[in-house]
Structure 1
Amino acid sequence: MSDSPAPITARSIFSQGSYARFWFARICSTVAFQMTAVAVGWQLYALTHSTFALGMAGLAQFLPMLLLTLVTGQTADRFNRKNINTICQTTEATAMIVLALSSHLGWLHPAGIYTAVAAIGACRAFEGPSTQALLPGLIPENMLPTAIAWSASANQTASIVGPALGGLLYALGATVPYAACAALFATASMLSFSLVSSRRTPPRTPVTLDSLFSGIRYIAERKNILGAISLDLFAVLLGGATALLPAYARDILHTGPWGLGLLRLAPAIGALSTSIFLAHNPIRRQAGRRMFLAVIVFGLATVSFAFSRSIWLSMAILSVLGAADVVSVVVRSSLVQLETPDAMRGRVSAVNSLFIGTSNQLGEFESGLTASWFGIVPATVIGGIGSIAVALIWMGLFPGLRRLETLSANTAPAVEPETAKTTP
């Protein structure tokens, strides 16, 4: 009688030294990014009193990601991924130092904020696919879905600490959170540099048009992956109201920077609790249906948030929104990683990062633009209804994704047999 495999526990996951350092680096980087979002959002709205200006910040971050997508995927597949992260996080630390000094000296103008945000967007365009593609090389394959859930918990833990810390530190002046962000990005850079991956950097081959577009083609040929990442794209693009939180905090809920920090951390509270639950209780059945249900709940929470006039009720609703969002993140991330061979992970992750960036940063621009047209509350309601509509339409367009049962290297390809030859 054969022995059953040992259960995958938090101890077994974090006994992998490089994964543990990767996890802490992600916390530092995400805390810094979330603190930056709070500081930039409040400072920009204080300078301009314009929801359109808030949307422009999202656009400034998105455009570099759009323009660099094909390059970043090739870079992640051709160069050492830990070095890419190290360089990006060092550059982000430098941008934070510039913002801190400019704020301290009273030189900061909205144009300067947009420039710094664009620089961070360019760094994250490279950092995103290299981070996603780096993870499978740090952990045994059978641990990957659980490791992704723990990685999501790191992201959500940071998303709890970051906004609250950013709001509190901003009360001491804009210079303080920017300086703290610089220190955190620098710490993440050192941790990233210490990682040891099982992946060897492949030999350099000529860059061709075929290789540049191979990530896009790979996703287009696999309906489950295409459906999962496009669902996230359109649902969050329409339903994301993150860009409007400074306006909600200041003009509707009548709070200060601390209130904005609470609103930004609320989705992460729900997401963290859900990601920890999923790390201990992985999704073993009806993964596709659960993902679609989560997107519908996300849309309903967005509509509910629009009508709240209590900061505590708003936080509770945003917590539900965050919990629903992380279910979609874990399903999508596991599906993409398990159905993509290592040699293609950088290019596929770059396209995936573009979809995520489009939904987040371009979604902020869309929210700011529609709010300037229709008002803050109507724009949020329209977005939430749009997310629900997208989920219902996608259930019909991608029946294979709706019927997806499990998230494992052994069973995921069975849903789409044509992908079996490329599954790692």
Structure 2
Amino acid sequence: MSAAPHPFRIANYRFYWFTRLFSMLAVYAMMLIVAWQAYNLARETMGIAGASARLGLIGLLQFIPLFCLTPVTGWVADHMDRRWVVRIVLTALAAIAGTLALLTYSQSMTLALLYFMAVLLGTARAFLGPAQGALAPNLVPKEVLPQAIALSTIAWQFGALVGPGIAGPLYGIAPHLPYTLSAILYAASAICMFFVGDVPRSAPKRTGPIEQIVEGARYVWRNKLVFGAITLDLFAVLLAGATALIPVFARDIIDLDWSADLIGGPVGDWVRGSPEHALSLLAASPAVGAAVVAAIFSIVPLKSNVGVKMLVAVFVFGGATIAFGFSTLLWFSMLCLFVVGASDMFSVYIRQSLIQLNTPDDKRGRVGAVSQLTISASNELGEAESGFLAALIGPVWAVVAGGIGAMAITAVWIRLFPQLAGAKTFDPSDEVLASEPDAMERGAGPKVEQETKSKAEGTP
């Protein structure tokens, strides 16, 4: 039997990868500036506590439409052409970014307008995530899916690295430029998706939409491996939302003059007195760590003891978050965020591989919608939690408390979901995974039973 081709040798996957790359560059550049504008507009009339709360409100307003639309978006991803869903949403996001650019260029931006645009962004991204995520497993053979996920994650993390890295300096040149760039990138992303050809997929069951939505949620609940992996990310990142408060730390917590003196040279001069530059460096640091881990996994895929390694990664994530909270030095804060990003990427890679490979194709859209809901809850709702908590106890202790919470959640999840630590490989026919109550529904049980019987009888 010939080996499965490398994902990049598959034309559909290549165009999908560039779609993801351009869209991730756009979203991370745009969202950093949305948060930065909101915080700065609020700081013109209020203190750190009040401005932190307004920053949290941006995250909450993005989460609400996603929470309300999750059942619908999952059903859409399983019943409509996923390519067209992605194309339409990316075009809409290009229009939203263009509108933000015009409002900023005309100096018409207000907090109220930013709140409204945040709702539109949350609505668009609610439809994008399930369709885009469920499309990926249909583009490559099952054998190389973990490698494809790692490569896709590189595109994601490259966007998370370069997007914020250029957004801050561009904002310093002209505030509308990051939004203009995002609009162009979203348009390029939509064009790439038009080059993705026909994609084979399993036909969904011919049952009513409500029943199918309930079925998708039921599947997540019954599959304890999938449910445990999804909820671990939900609560860990929800609590440890250090990155949500980066605008606060860049402007009001990090000692830029002291940091510049220690760094010295042209880089120190570049940082001194420039919170926009510090903002870009801090925002890019988690992506650097994540990109390094993703690059390693794209070359040397993880194969053994994946569950235990995921749990350790989340524990490290919490510890690095605590260290960041106490730091007032730019270089040390960047190092802490590098570890935050690397450990989070380690966990994301394992979690997404387990979810994708242990979910039937006809349910991937709905399971992806549930997964996106928890990811958005941990990100956007986590931003709200961090902002509101910072308003109550201060940004430093809000970050520290979140890191402690993430470590505590990991310890609890080890007891509640032994399936996580028991996952040795990504293979759905793994002995531990197949022992779950719903293994027969996935078809893993008979396969394992037949393989065991064949080995005992000495047959291939």
* Structure-2 residue corresponding to 1:21: 15
* Structure-1 residue corresponding to 2:442: 422
CA 81–13 in structure 1, closer or farther in 2 if over 3 Å, else same = same
* Structure-2 residue corresponding to 1:158: 159
- Alignment gaps of 5+ in structure 2: 44-50, 257-273, 445-460
For residues 305-320 of structure 1, the aligned pairs below 5 Å read 305-320=324-339
Structure 2 residue 6 is the aligned partner of structure 1 residue 12: yes
For normalisation by structure 2, the TM-score amounts to 0.88
Inter-partner Cα distance in structure 2 for 1:357 and 1:409? 26
- Alignment gaps of 5+ in structure 1: none
Deviations along 1:267-307, whole A, 9 cap, x unmatched? 01000000111122222111111010000000000000011
Inter-partner Cα distance in structure 2 for 1:197 and 1:284? 31
For residues 289-304 of structure 1, the aligned pairs below 5 Å read 289-304=308-323
Deviations along 1:234-259, whole A, 9 cap, x unmatched? 00000112221000000011441121
Provide runs of 4+ in structure 1 moved above 6 Å: none
Deviations along 1:186-221, whole A, 9 cap, x unmatched? 011111122124325847946343212221110000
CA 399–263 in structure 1, closer or farther in 2 if over 3 Å, else same = same
* Structure-1 residue corresponding to 2:188: 187
CA RMSD of aligned residues (A): 1.6
CA 282–159 in structure 1, closer or farther in 2 if over 3 Å, else same = same
Inter-partner Cα distance in structure 1 for 2:393 and 2:308? 34
Structure 1 residue matching 2:359: 3-state secondary structure: coil
Picking from 375, 379, 383, the partner of 1:364 is 383
Inter-partner Cα distance in structure 1 for 2:308 and 2:94? 41
Structure 1 residue matching 2:199: 3-state secondary structure: coil
Q: Is the 8 A contact 1:134 1:197 kept in 2?
A: no
Inter-partner Cα distance in structure 2 for 1:307 and 1:203? 50
Structure 2 residue matching 1:146: 3-state secondary structure: helix
* Structure-2 residue corresponding to 1:104: 105
Picking from 244, 263, 266, the partner of 2:282 is 263
Picking from 416, 424, 433, the partner of 1:397 is 416
Structure 2 residue 362 is the aligned partner of structure 1 residue 348: no
Counterpart of 1:245, as a letter, is I
Q: Is the 8 A contact 1:404 1:415 kept in 2?
A: no
Q: Is the 8 A contact 2:308 2:421 kept in 1?
A: yes
Deviations along 1:163-185, whole A, 9 cap, x unmatched? 01111110122211111100000
Structure 2 residue 338 is the aligned partner of structure 1 residue 337: no
Q: Is the 8 A contact 1:400 1:415 kept in 2?
A: no
Q: Is the 8 A contact 1:295 1:391 kept in 2?
A: yes
Counterpart of 2:104, as a letter, is S
Structure 2 residue 247 is the aligned partner of structure 1 residue 246: yes
Inter-partner Cα distance in structure 1 for 2:184 and 2:230? 33
Inter-partner Cα distance in structure 2 for 1:307 and 1:204? 52
Structure number with greater Rg is 2
* Structure-2 residue corresponding to 1:234: 235
Deviation at 1:330, TM superposition (A): 1.0
Q: Mean Cα displacement is larger for which, 293-302 or 245-254?
A: 245-254
Inter-partner Cα distance in structure 1 for 2:176 and 2:207? 45
Inter-partner Cα distance in structure 2 for 1:213 and 1:105? 46
CA 383–203 in structure 1, closer or farther in 2 if over 3 Å, else same = closer
* Structure-1 residue corresponding to 2:451: none
Q: Is the 8 A contact 2:242 2:325 kept in 1?
A: no
Counterpart of 1:375, as a letter, is G
Q: Mean Cα displacement is larger for which, 387-396 or 328-337?
A: 328-337
Q: Is the 8 A contact 1:149 1:330 kept in 2?
A: yes
Q: Is the 8 A contact 2:202 2:361 kept in 1?
A: no
Deviation at 1:421, TM superposition (A): 3.3
* Structure-2 residue corresponding to 1:35: 29
CA 423–230 in structure 1, closer or farther in 2 if over 3 Å, else same = farther
Inter-partner Cα distance in structure 2 for 1:321 and 1:161? 17
Inter-partner Cα distance in structure 2 for 1:387 and 1:204? 38
Counterpart of 1:414, as a letter, is A
For residues 101-250 of structure 1, the aligned pairs below 5 Å read 101-200=102-201, 202=203, 205=206, 207-250=208-251
CA 290–226 in structure 1, closer or farther in 2 if over 3 Å, else same = same
Deviation at 1:136, TM superposition (A): 0.8
Inter-partner Cα distance in structure 2 for 1:390 and 1:248? 25
Structure 2 residue 425 is the aligned partner of structure 1 residue 406: yes
Deviation at 1:43, TM superposition (A): 1.1
Inter-partner Cα distance in structure 1 for 2:382 and 2:244? 8
Structure 1 residue matching 2:328: 3-state secondary structure: coil
Deviation at 1:106, TM superposition (A): 1.5
Inter-partner Cα distance in structure 2 for 1:32 and 1:129? 18
Inter-partner Cα distance in structure 1 for 2:42 and 2:245? 14
Q: Is the 8 A contact 1:76 1:347 kept in 2?
A: yes
Inter-partner Cα distance in structure 1 for 2:342 and 2:252? 26
Q: Is the 8 A contact 2:240 2:406 kept in 1?
A: yes
Q: Is the 8 A contact 1:79 1:201 kept in 2?
A: no
Inter-partner Cα distance in structure 1 for 2:291 and 2:435? 29
Structure 2 residue 396 is the aligned partner of structure 1 residue 377: yes
* Structure-1 residue corresponding to 2:81: 80
CA 310–29 in structure 1, closer or farther in 2 if over 3 Å, else same = same
Calculate percent identity across the aligned residue pairs. 40
Inter-partner Cα distance in structure 2 for 1:208 and 1:198? 23
